[in-house]
Amino acid sequence: MISIHCMRGQLEAIELGRPAAATDRVMFRGLDVFALPAREVVRVMREHTRVQADPEDRASFVAPDLLLSFWRPFAADDEPDEVQGYYFGSVLVAQPGYYDTPAEAEERSGRSC
């Protein structure tokens, strides 16, 4: 699954879903983000950049400096048979500003008072 997110006619983000076949891979710096357990993906990503739990969804993570987010419907870190919670189900790459709060967006646009 590949999904695009647009607003006002502009591409804002692309989301890749977990491949159905093991032959399809999504890589970041040699890391297969869907083949490893979510906990391991986060650990390795933290070797490269800041990664934080999504404040609205504690089973998902955001690497804001890389404009990446990793999603799974729930955390099941100790249950490899529970694929939907043990592995990430999607990864999203976004344009700068996608994760900005309203205050950050205002500052980015240069309209801050």
Q: Going residue by residue through the chain (113 aa), what tens digit of pLDDT does each one get?
A: 888 888 888 888 899 989 888 788 888 888 999 999 999 999 999 999 999 998 888 889 999 888 899 999 888 888 888 888 889 999 999 888 777 777 777 777 775 44
Please give the pLDDT value at position 112. 45
Contact 84, 91 (CB under 8 A): no
State if pTM tops 0.75: yes
Phi and psi based region of residue 23 (left: phi greater than 0; alpha: psi -120 to 50; beta: remaining): alpha
Q: Are strands 2-7 and 68-71 parallel, antiparallel or unpaired?
A: unpaired
Domain boundaries, the chain: 2-109
**pLDDT the model gives residue 78:** 82
